[in-house]
C-alpha cells in the first residue's frame, strides 16, 4: 500500500468523523469503496479524500458560517491584543476586567474551543511576529514567537481533551509551556537560567522583578498577556456535547500485501426508505434484558484520583455558592441604600438622580432614533460601521505611538509599551482589522437565539 | 421537508433523472455533474433524508472485485416527480417563461 493510499484512507476516516454518528460509518465504507477504484491515480485519490475532509458536512456549518467563525476568533485575538496594550499602558490590575471582557465576548461567540484555538494561534503569531519591528522588540523574532504560538496551539488542543475539571489546570500548564518556549531564545541571549522557566509566566504578569532582567520580562509580558486573554476566551466558550466515535470498518492486509475487504455489506442489499434519523437500537442480551457494565475507573488508582478531583470540585462549588450568597446580600443592601437615598435624601440629591435618569432616557431615545431598535439590522449595521471606524482610528493612534522607537524601548522596560499592530500601519492591515472589528461587533450585538 | 434547490442540487437530480431506471454510484455522479466529492455526498444525504433518493449496497463479492461493496443511489417515485417539477421550473425561469 502506497503512502498516498494510506494518507487518503486516513483523510477519509477524519472526514467521516465529522459527520453525524448515525451515518458516518456507512459513508466511510462507501468512500473507501470509491477510493479503491481510484487507486491507480494518486492525484485523484487525494482530491477525492481532500475534498471530503474540508467540505461542510450535511448538518455542519456552511462555508459562510465557517468564515464568520474564523473572523470572530481572529477578532477576539485582536481584542485580546488591544486589551493587553491597554493593560500595559495603564495598570496591571486592569488585567482582571480585561479577562472578564474576554469571557463575556466568548459567551456570545458560537464556536467550539478547538476551532477557536486553531484560528487564534495563527492570528496570535501574526500579531506578535509581524506586529513588532525587530528594532523595538529584540526578542520577538521568528525564533521567539513561532515556538510560543506552536506550543500554545498544541498544548491547548491537548488541554481541551482533558476531563472537564482538569481543563483550567491543563490550560495553565499550556500557558507555562508557551511562555517557556517563547522565552528560551531570550533567556539564552540574556544569560537567564533556563531552570527559572516555571517562574517566567507568573513574573511576567507582575510588576518588574529584581530577579530577572527587565528586557527579558518585557518581552515575556508582551507574549503572555495576549496568550492569557486568548486562553480565557477559549475556556469561556461553551463546549459542545461529545459525539460518538466513528466505527471504522476493518480492512485487513493479506501476506501478499493486497488489501482484502469485509463481505458483510454484501449480505444486506436492502433499500433504505427512511434514513431520516431512525433511532439507534438498544442492545439487549439473549434473555432480552439490557446489560450494564461497571465502570473500571472506580476500582483502580485513576478512579481514586478522579474521586479526589470530584471532592475538590465539590469544595470549590461550596466556596463559590457562599461567595455568590455574600455578593447577592451585598447587592441587596446596595439597592436598599439607593432606594433610601432616593426617598429620604435632600431635594438636591433627588434632583441630581432624576436629572441623570432623564438624561439617560433621552440618550436612549435619540440613539434608537438614529441607529434603530436594539437588535435591528440598522442598529447592527451602524454599530458595525462605528466599530470599523474606531478600529482604523486606533490603528492610526497605535502607529503614532510606536513612531518614536527610543521612547518605545524605554516604555518596554517599564511595562507600559504599546506593542504589536505593526501590520496596522499598512492600509491592507487596517482594512483587515476594521473588518474584524465590525464582524466581532456584529456577533456581540446580535440578538441571542430564542 | 423538501431539499433547498441550488445549482449543485439541480445538477445531481438532473443526473439521476437522466438515468431514471439505472442506479448510480458516487463516482458516476461526480463525473456526470462535475461536482467534487465534498459537494456531492452532502447533497445525496440531504436528498435521501428528504425521501427523494434511496440507496442500497452493491451485491458483489469484494474479494473478487478487489474493492469493498459500492453504494448505489436511485430516485424514488416521489423524488423523480419532484425533481422533474423542479428542473422544469428552473428551465422555465432561465428561459423567462411564466410558471405553469
Q: Alpha-carbon distance A273 to A262, whole Å? A: 24
With an 8 Å Cβ cutoff, are B57 and A261 in contact? no
Position A246 pLDDT exceeds 60: no
Position A251 pLDDT exceeds 50: no
A215-219, A320-324, B84-88: lowest mean pLDDT where? Answer: A320-324
Nearest CA in chain A to B52: A273
Q: What angle do CA B44, A26, A62 make, to 5 degrees?
A: 45
Q: Alpha-carbon distance A116 to A158, whole Å? A: 14
Per-residue cell: B58: 452493491
At residue A406, the pLDDT reads 58
With an 8 Å Cβ cutoff, are B61 and A265 in contact? no
Give pLDDT tens digits for B52-86: 999 999 888 888 888 888 999 999 988 889 888 88
A11-20, A22-31, A285-294, B19-28: lowest mean pLDDT where? Answer: A285-294
A89 CA to centre of own chain = 25
Nearest CA in chain B to A60: B42
At residue A389, the pLDDT reads 87
Q: Alpha-carbon distance A106 to A88, whole Å? A: 22
Q: Alpha-carbon distance A416 to A91, whole Å? A: 9
Position A47 pLDDT exceeds 90: yes
With an 8 Å Cβ cutoff, are B67 and A52 in contact? no
All structural domains of chain B with their residue ranges: 7-95
pTM here?
Answer: 0.55
Pick the more confident residue, A29 or A266: A29
Closest CA of chain A from B99, distance in Å: 31
* Residue of B44, B48, B25 lying closest to A36 (CA atoms): B25
Give pLDDT tens digits for A55-71: 888 777 777 778 778 88
With an 8 Å Cβ cutoff, are A32 and B68 in contact? yes
Position B46 pLDDT exceeds 80: yes
Count of Cβ atoms closer than 10 Å to residue A367 Cβ: 13
Q: Alpha-carbon distance A158 to A379, whole Å? A: 40
Which residues, 6 or more positions from A420, have their beta carbon under 8 angstroms from its beta carbon? Answer: A81, A84, A85, A127, A128, A131, A132, A222, A226
Position A136 pLDDT exceeds 60: no
Nearest CA in chain B to A59: B42
Beta carbon pairs, A and B, within 8 Å: 106
**In chain B, what residues touch A54 (CB-CB under 8 Å)?**
38
Q: Which of A52, A261, A275 sits opposite B68 (nearest CB)?
A: A261
At residue A420, the pLDDT reads 53
At residue A152, the pLDDT reads 92
Q: Which of B38, B49, B59 sits opposite A275 (nearest CB)?
A: B49
Complex-level ipTM: 0.90
Strand order in the sheet with B24-25: B24-25, B71-75, B53-57
What average pLDDT does this structure show over A77-99? 82
* Mean pLDDT, rounded, of chain B: 86
Q: What is B7-95's CATH number?
A: 1.10.10.10
At residue B35, the pLDDT reads 93
Amino acid at each position: 500500500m502506497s503512502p498516498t493510499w494510506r494518507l487518503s484512507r486516513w483523510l477519509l476516516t477524519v472526514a467521516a468523523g465529522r459527520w453525524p454518528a448515525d451515518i458516518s460509518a456507512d459513508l466511510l465504507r462507501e468512500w473507501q469503496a470509491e477510493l479503491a477504484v481510484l487507486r491507480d491515480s494518486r492525484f485523484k485519490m487525494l482530491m477525492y479524500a481532500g475534498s471530503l475532509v474540508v467540505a461542510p458536512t450535511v448538518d455542519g456549518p456552511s462555508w459562510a458560517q465557517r468564515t464568520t467563525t474564523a473572523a470572530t476568533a481572529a477578532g477576539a485575538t485582536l481584542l485580546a491584543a488591544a486589551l493587553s496594550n491597554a493593560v500595559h499602558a495603564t495598570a496591571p490590575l486592569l488585567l482582571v476586567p480585561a479577562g472578564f471582557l474576554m469571557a463575556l465576548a466568548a459567551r456570545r461567540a458560537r464556536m467550539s474551543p478547538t476551532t477557536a484555538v486553531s484560528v487564534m494561534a495563527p492570528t496570535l503569531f501574526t500579531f506578535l511576529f509581524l506586529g513588532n519591528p525587530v528594532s523595538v522588540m529584540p526578542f520577538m523574532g521568528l525564533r521567539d514567537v513561532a515556538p510560543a504560538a506552536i506550543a500554545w496551539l498544541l498544548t491547548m488542543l491537548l488541554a481541551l481533551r482533558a476531563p472537564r475539571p482538569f481543563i483550567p489546570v491543563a490550560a495553565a500548564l499550556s500557558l507555562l509551556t508557551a511562555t517557556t518556549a517563547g522565552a528560551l531564545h531570550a533567556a539564552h541571549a540574556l544569560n537567564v537560567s533556563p531552570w527559572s522557566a516555571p517562574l517566567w509566566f507568573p513574573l511576567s504578569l507582575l510588576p518588574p522583578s529584581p530577579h530577572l532582567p527587565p528586557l527579558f520580562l518585557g518581552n515575556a509580558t508582551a507574549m503572555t498577556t495576549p496568550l492569557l486573554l486568548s486562553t480565557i476566551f477559549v475556556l469561556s466558550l461553551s463546549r459542545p456535547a461529545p459525539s460518538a466515535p466513528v466505527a471504522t470498518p476493518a480492512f485487513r492486509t493479506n501476506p501478499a500485501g493486497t488489501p482484502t475487504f469485509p463481505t458483510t455489506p454484501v449480505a444486506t442489499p436492502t433499500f433504505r426508505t427512511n434514513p431520516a434519523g431512525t433511532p439507534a437500537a438498544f442492545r439487549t442480551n439473549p434473555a432480552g434484558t439490557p446489560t450494564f457494565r461497571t465502570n473500571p475507573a472506580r476500582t483502580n488508582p485513576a478512579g481514586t484520583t478522579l474521586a479526589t478531583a470530584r471532592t475538590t470540585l465539590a469544595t470549590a462549588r461550596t466556596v463559590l455558592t457562599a461567595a455568590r450568597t455574600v455578593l447577592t446580600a451585598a447587592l441587596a443592601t446596595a439597592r436598599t441604600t439607593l432606594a433610601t437615598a432616593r426617598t429620604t435624601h435632600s431635594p438636591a440629591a433627588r434632583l441630581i438622580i432624576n436629572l441623570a435618569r432623564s438624561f439617560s432616557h433621552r440618550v436612549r431615545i435619540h440613539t434608537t432614533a438614529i441607529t434603530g431598535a436594539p437588535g435591528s439590522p440598522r442598529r447592527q449595521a451602524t454599530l458595525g460601521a462605528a466599530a470599523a471606524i474606531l478600529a482604523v482610528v486606533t490603528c492610526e493612534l497605535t502607529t503614532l505611538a510606536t513612531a518614536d522607537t527610543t521612547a518605545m524601548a524605554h516604555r518596554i522596560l517599564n511595562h507600559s509599551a504599546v506593542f504589536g499592530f505593526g501590520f496596522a500601519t499598512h492600509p491592507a492591515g487596517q482594512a483587515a482589522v476594521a473588518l474584524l472589528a465590525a464582524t466581532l461587533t456584529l456577533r456581540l450585538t446580535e440578538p441571542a437565539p430564542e | 421537508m423538501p431539499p433547498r434547490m441550488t445549482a449543485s442540487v439541480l445538477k445531481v437530480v438532473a443526473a439521476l433523472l437522466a438515468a431514471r431506471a439505472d442506479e448510480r454510484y458516487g463516482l458516476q455522479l461526480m463525473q456526470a455533474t462535475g461536482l467534487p466529492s465534498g459537494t456531492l455526498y452532502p447533497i445525496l444525504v440531504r436528498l435521501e433524508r428528504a425521501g427523494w433518493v434511496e440507496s442500497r449496497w452493491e451485491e458483489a463479492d469484494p474479494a473478487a472485485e478487489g474493492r469493498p461493496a459500492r453504494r448505489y443511489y436511485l430516485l424514488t417515485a416521489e423524488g423523480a416527480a419532484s425533481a422533474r417539477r423542479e428542473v422544469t421550473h428552473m428551465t422555465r425561469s432561465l428561459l423567462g417563461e411564466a410558471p405553469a
